Amino acid sequence: MSFKRGDEKMIVGYTSGVYDLFHIGHLNLLKNAKSLCDKLIVGVTSDELVSYKNKKSVINHQERMEIVRSIKHVDVVIPQNDMDKFKMWERLKFDVMFVGDDWLDTPKWKELDEKFKEVGVKIVYFPYTQGTSSTLINETLKNLRGTN
């Protein structure tokens, strides 16, 4: 995916996530990502891919895509049907990838960082928003309903 502004190449950013039970952490990541690129592409994880973690999203894939598509910081929304971020780069040719710093220094992301450096892609790790997550919201709802 190539974007141009006149003769100038635009910086294309990419991030992905489940975006279930959309919350301030999601918004912070998308807003911060957009501030560092001209075009922001967001991959929304499919319901099938969510199940790899033995989890199930509360909001279905199509609705999560529509929610993310409606965020003013997002330029393009695509389904994420594969965990392989490098395959996504081969398809989209983004310049920078954004991810939460909860992945920083994990073996998987150290390896990805090296692979992306070879093709000139920078990974930017944003601080994880403390105090909120879809997992925490789900746990709170279970507790409120007494369904532990």
Q: Which residues are catalytic?
A: 53, 55
Contact predicate 18/31, CB 8 Å:
no
Eight-state DSSP code of residue 121: P
Determine which helix (DSSP H) or strand (DSSP E) holds 5, and give its type and residue range. Answer: strand 4-5
CA distance 24 to 58: 17
- For 89, phi then psi, to 5°, come to -65, -40
Within 10 angstroms of residue 113's Cβ, the number of other Cβ atoms is 18
